[in-house]
Amino acid sequence: MTADAPSHFVKLNPATGEPLQSYACPTEAVIAQTVAQAQDAQTTWGQSTPRQRADVLKAIRELIYQQAQNLAETISLETGKPLADALEADIATALNVLSYYAEIGPHQLKSKWLKPDLMSLATGRLNRETWYPRGVIAIISPWNFPVAIACSGIAATLMAGNSVVLKPSELTPACGQQLIGLVQAGLTAGGYSPHIAQVLVGDGSTGACLLEQPLDGIIFTGSERTGQRVAETAARRNLWISLELGGSDPMIILEGCDLEQVASYALWGRFINAGQACAAVKRLLVPAKQEAALLDLLKAKIQQLQVGSPQEKESHLGPLISETQRCLIDDQVQDALRQGAKLILGGHAVDRPGFFYQPTLLSKVPPQARVLTEETFGPVLPVIPYHSLDQAITLANNTPFGLTASVFGPAHEAHQVAQRLQCGTVVINEVGPTNYALACAPWGGWKRSGAGFSHGAAALTDLSQRKVLSENLLFTLPFTRKPLWHFNQPSRSPGQRSQTVLALAARHPDLWWNPQRWWPFWQNRPSSKL
Ligand code: NAD
């Protein structure tokens, strides 16, 4: 651990700016001990059957369901998001992902027979693909959906038979502790060690120290900048890693849309969670001739949004997570204004305690402005006009990120646009953040938005090690004891046999469905002398 690592940190209430609680950061010895306990506990957990693990996941789901209100209150207090969002976006997603892996895990992790292969060097084989746990997985998570994101990683990690050490964001430590408390209760109820899932509360230096321990993999969700450092550590240590990073996601409105309807989608897609969502609508592209009408609609809708304490039922938007985050968003907005953007609404902090920022609407934003070139993690919506579909697609792809995009319009045209967008998910006639709630859909970014997947069967198999079991059935048969390619054949010079070997390798997929094609092979078969 570096000498400048803090021994404590204080978590502030984002809605008031007042301290909520002080936390001691774990020492290097505590971090090492936690990982050692996780290694130890994993040996038993890894030998359990997928069905037994599915039962534990269901038990965890029930505990979270029963404690949903308590957990939501902690989320709301620590993040500043309204209680309804904590319940419906964060906790509901966590429950859904636990259900999903409990359901697909036992099937997905069954060994699978592979399609027979006629390649001559490997003829006569029975091949099976089997799955084994990796070992100890560190999950480093962000604060914006502190339960949904951590739980997505935990559900897939545990289902695959690994143990987990969660390092939640220092901005949501109690969410991480409470979540792991419920996971441990589910594990112990099933007769398993609580060390299979543990939590280390600390800041980035705790995360960095955790990554130096004897781990078997890392799931990192966070900013592109930190992700880059974490990826460097993983590469140096040759560790498996999944990276879920930031985005600058476009929403494209095609011609012929009901503007009133799409404005409502854009409003929610941008301002949910006070704009602090990786897949939020961060750039809104609209046909130039509809720009003015759309801006009027958005302005009217944004004016109706209530910014206020997350405890007040009327609030649509709470505060931003921290003063640092509020300053960053304000810097990005002021940069756009300096470069000639037009401010239609908002553009400054709300004058009250806490880290509130006004929902902001911008137009005429120059392409080099930071709100377009960087991720904007706050309530700022730039509207960009386009003159042709090609231009819209070029503008949408003109970003180093590639997390999600959304396209609104007639389905056929929207699908054609979707084909040309460079990102991990394209949502048609819906906005990006909703897709994170889909446990079945692999979630991952292109370009600098990440590598690897959370959710879907892909996450489960990525968290497992494959082993192929390949058995030579010819070994025990008396008439095939000497394969054609062994040294003890009379001739090894390339001749007819080699031609047959090549033809089998190149053509054998056709042979399966068209038996007539066997005939030339039979006619030209290698001589029986070979
Ligand atoms: P962050 O990068 O600041 O922190 C993420 C986590 O990394 C925290 O737990 C932090 O303590 C830890 N950390 C910091 N430095 C570290 C280091 N050197 N080594 C190891 N761990 C370290 O991100 P954030 O502000 O918490 O989250 C917001 C970002 O996350 C946004 O960019 C957002 O787009 C992204 N995000 C992405 C997804 C996705 O699915 N792609 C989901 C949610 C959030």
Is the residue at 490 inside a domain?
yes
Alpha-carbon gap, residue 94 to 501, rounded angstroms: 52
Is the residue at 9 inside a domain?
no
Q: Which domain holds residue 428?
A: 249-439
Question: Does ligand 1 come within 6 angstroms of the Cβ of 202?
Answer: no
Q: Do 327 and 215 sit in the same domain of this protein?
A: no
Structure tokens of 206?
């705790």
Q: Whose CA is nearest to atom 43 of ligand 1?
A: 278
**Closest ligand 1 atom to the C-alpha of 454?**
40
Distance between the two ends of the chain, CA-based, in angstroms? 66
Q: Do 347 and 369 sit in the same domain of this protein?
A: yes
Q: Whose CA is nearest to atom 39 of ligand 1?
A: 244
Is beta strand 217-221 parallel, antiparallel or unpaired with respect to 241-244? Answer: parallel
Q: Do 351 and 311 sit in the same domain of this protein?
A: yes
Q: Which amino acid belongs to residue 268?
A: W
Is the residue at 241 inside a domain?
yes
- Mutational test site, ligand 1, from 226, 326, 404, max ligand atoms within 8 Å of CB: 226
Question: Does ligand 1 come within 6 angstroms of the Cβ of 455?
Answer: no
Is the residue at 176 inside a domain?
yes
Is the residue at 131 inside a domain?
yes
Alpha-carbon gap, residue 259 to 251, rounded angstroms: 13
Question: Does ligand 1 come within 6 angstroms of the Cβ of 459?
Answer: no
| Residue 385 CB-density burial (10 A; 0-12 exposed, 13-18 middle, 19+ buried) | buried
In this structure, the number of other CB atoms found within 10 A of the CB of residue 268 comes to 15
Q: Do 339 and 389 sit in the same domain of this protein?
A: yes
Q: Do 97 and 212 sit in the same domain of this protein?
A: yes
How far is C-alpha 387 from the geometric centre of its chain's CA atoms? Answer: 33
Q: Are 524 and 514 in contact (CB under 8 A)?
A: no
Q: Are 387 and 288 in contact (CB under 8 A)?
A: yes
pLDDT reported for residue 512: 56
Q: Do 350 and 209 sit in the same domain of this protein?
A: no
Q: Whose CA is nearest to atom 4 of ligand 1?
A: 222
Q: Which helix (H) or strand (E) holds 185?
A: helix 173-189
Contacts for 15 with CB less than 8 Å, ≥ 6 apart: 80, 309, 310, 311, 318, 319, 353, 354
Q: Do 319 and 414 sit in the same domain of this protein?
A: yes
**Closest ligand 1 atom to the C-alpha of 202?**
11
φ and ψ at residue 335, rounded to 5 degrees = -60, -45
What is the block-wise mean pLDDT of the chain (530 residues), using blocks of 10 residues? 84 98 97 98 98 98 98 98 96 98 97 79 86 98 98 98 98 98 98 98 98 98 98 98 98 96 98 98 98 98 96 94 98 98 98 97 98 98 98 98 98 97 98 94 97 95 96 82 68 71 73 57 50
Cα-based distances in Å from 223 to 90, 165, 230, 509: 19, 20, 10, 45
- Mutational test site, ligand 1, from 169, 180, 213, 233, max ligand atoms within 8 Å of CB: 169
pLDDT reported for residue 314: 92
pLDDT reported for residue 476: 83
Alpha-carbon gap, residue 433 to 526, rounded angstroms: 61
Structure tokens of 495?
């001749």
pLDDT reported for residue 215: 98
Question: Does ligand 1 come within 6 angstroms of the Cβ of 198?
Answer: no
**Closest ligand 1 atom to the C-alpha of 142?**
26
Question: Does ligand 1 come within 6 angstroms of the Cβ of 273?
Answer: no
Alpha-carbon gap, residue 189 to 98, rounded angstroms: 17
Distance 528 CA to ligand 1 centre (A): 66
Is the residue at 39 inside a domain?
no
**224: helix, strand or coil:** helix
Question: Does ligand 1 come within 6 angstroms of the Cβ of 358?
Answer: no
φ and ψ at residue 246, rounded to 5 degrees = -80, 180
Structure tokens of 439?
């446990």
Q: Do 141 and 191 sit in the same domain of this protein?
A: yes
Q: Are 136 and 35 in contact (CB under 8 A)?
A: yes
How many domains would you assign to the chain?
Answer: 3
Distance 322 CA to ligand 1 centre (A): 14
Distance 92 CA to ligand 1 centre (A): 22
Question: Does ligand 1 come within 6 angstroms of the Cβ of 208?
Answer: yes
Question: Does ligand 1 come within 6 angstroms of the Cβ of 433?
Answer: no
Q: Do 362 and 408 sit in the same domain of this protein?
A: yes
Q: Do 210 and 86 sit in the same domain of this protein?
A: yes
Q: Do 391 and 496 sit in the same domain of this protein?
A: no
Distance 143 CA to ligand 1 centre (A): 8
pTM of the predicted structure, to 2 decimals: 0.94
Q: Do 421 and 318 sit in the same domain of this protein?
A: yes
Q: What is the CA radius of gyration of the chain?
A: 27
Alpha-carbon gap, residue 324 to 306, rounded angstroms: 23
Distance 59 CA to ligand 1 centre (A): 29
Is the residue at 297 inside a domain?
yes
Alpha-carbon gap, residue 345 to 348, rounded angstroms: 9
**Closest ligand 1 atom to the C-alpha of 211?**
20
The catalytic residue positions are 244, 278
Is the residue at 444 inside a domain?
no
H runs (alpha helix) in 250-338: 259-271, 291-303, 323-338
- Mutational test site, ligand 1, from 1, 2, 144, max ligand atoms within 8 Å of CB: 144
pLDDT reported for residue 515: 53
Cα-based distances in Å from 23 to 80, 184, 322: 19, 21, 17
CATH of the domain at 232: 3.40.605.10
Residues in the chain: 530
Distance 327 CA to ligand 1 centre (A): 18
CATH of the domain at 338: 3.40.309.10
Question: Does ligand 1 come within 6 angstroms of the Cβ of 230?
Answer: yes
Question: Does ligand 1 come within 6 angstroms of the Cβ of 222?
Answer: yes
